[in-house]
Structure 1
Amino acid sequence: MLVEVWSDFVCPWCYIGRSRLKRALADFEHADEVKVEWRSFLLDPSHRKGVRQGVHEMLAEKTGASIEDVRTMTDRVSKLAAEEGLTYDVERAVVVNTVDAHRLHHLAMSHDLGDQAHERLMRAHFAESEVLDDPDTLVRIATEIGVPEDEARRVVSSDEYARDVKQDIRQARLYGANGVPFFVLDRTYGVSGAQPVEVFVSALRTAHGSGEPASP
């Protein structure tokens, strides 16, 4: 069974959704038959390259809410993340255009390190306040998980894998996804949002029971 997940590395619900999917797989009887693939998506396609903003500043600007109201909102999400064992340092997190991080992730996938790269990039943003459009930071993160340094540096200094990122985003739109996280099971069953673990388990069982193979 193929499970494709569209997400962005600066999306707080995506990290929570990742954790809940992993927990659901631990409760799923046929987890050994499941292959998870992480797909690219831009939470805010209008965010210009080179622009770096604090999370609270960005949300206040985007929603028109006060910093105090935004902080209340992010505190609620951080508490939900903590229940998943995740650390969110929202006060120091920096929002950037993540195209380069997604391109690097595609490189990692070519080395069968896609899952490791996905988790590491999310942890870097949410827990460690790393800036995910900084070339040296991206190269360091890539080498930490086993991607050759020369390949990582070549990719972040070029537009390599840009077409793959765009194709992922285009496919998400074809599925009707307007936000992330977005999960597609065997290219047939869609689950939108960071749903409770029980919802993911039910979806996995339904997809497995259908007996419909994924399209090539």
Structure 2
Amino acid sequence: MSPRGVAIPDLRERLFAAAERVVARDGAASLTSRAITTEADCAKGVLHTHFAGLDEFVAELVLDRFARSARRAEALHSEVGQATVADNLQEVTLCLMDSLPPAVVGLAMTRPAAAQHTREGFRSGSPAFDAIQRAFTAYLRAEQRVGRLPAGADAATIALALVGTTHHLLMTRSPEQGEDTRATTGRLLAVLVGG
């Protein structure tokens, strides 16, 4: 355990990763401040030193994972002309799905204070599905310019369909379903971009 009063590098990420492990291993109902700090090997009160409470912590976890996914989507511009359009989009979509486990999403939606904090974060500019949709649209238009996507394809609608489906899968899948997300997104992308 880190000594009291000593700064912990990357504390937020350490706590977020610990929370994800607790939820994956023991289920959403077992997520408590103490379970998180024990898993992160931190002092018991450290979570409440940095967050107003568990609801704010859960909301900040969701906002952080959306921001990470949005950054990954924005990096698609460096992959124009590489691999296939479908493979590039699928990688980012799966990254988003993996970064927001169903149990964590469920916690953020079923805890009213966490849901409110998440909505406030989105309203104040934290990246969400709209940022990912814009990044997908920009990427698809760039692929059109190099001839890897038909000129007549509606990039904005393809991006909307992909983001909308991803949102649906995030909100409706359950941890025990074991649904093959890769296969589902692969079929969708085959319809949307022919890949």
TM-score (norm 2): 0.25
Structure in which a larger fraction of residues adopt strand: 1
Name which one, 1 or 2, has greater alpha-carbon Rg.
Answer: 2
